[in-house]
Amino acid sequence: MIKPIVTNIKELKLPNFAWEFLPSENIIELLDDLDFTLSNNGKGVGLAAPQIGIHFKVAIVRSLVGNIYLINPKIIEKNNKKVCVEGCLSLPGIQLAVDRWNYIKFENYTKEGKLEIKEADGVFAEIIQHELDHCNGILITDRKHSRR
């Protein structure tokens, strides 16, 4: 289902729960909602559950090889700082220079509930950090680059 995108900053900064793989919980439905809602918002390359009002650490990212699902993602290694200009579907009309890492290694769960370790660099790493931040209630306004 296509869901409305949350633009209320207070709501976006609420704490989010780790997804628990219980038999009663349907991760597929949430991932589909994220997928449809993202497709409905042409410019976006990623979307996190808190942006559709679901307070779990779950997000999707578009890639050349299909959707990447982020479930309880956590950065375990990072390298080479850089500054990126980013926008956000939840902050329409705003573009900001933000601090990012060019390389990250992160823990993540597959939609089947299996723990995996993944790596990313370049623009792909940037998008993953943006969505991972949403999972932790962090917005680009909190990562604003300040010149020395």
| Residues in touch with Zn ion (CB under 5 A) | 88
Query: Is the torsion defined by CA of 99, 100, 101, 102 positive or negative?
Result: negative
In angstroms and rounded to an integer, the radius of gyration of the C-alpha atoms of the chain is 14
What are the phi and psi torsion angles at 114 (to 5°)? -95, 130
- Output the smallest distance, CB 64 to Zn ion, in A: 20
- Asked about 131 being catalytic, the answer comes back as yes
Taking the complex as a whole, the smallest distance from the CB of residue 50 to Zn ion amounts, in Å, to: 10
- Residues facing 118 on adjacent strands: 106
CA distance 10 to 83: 26
Instruction: State which amino acid sits at residue 59.
Output: A
Q: What is the DSSP letter of 18?
A: P
Strands 96-109 and 58-63 turn out to be: unpaired
In the complex, the smallest distance separating the C-beta of residue 130 from Zn ion, rounded to whole angstroms, is 6
Catalytic positions, please?
Answer: 131
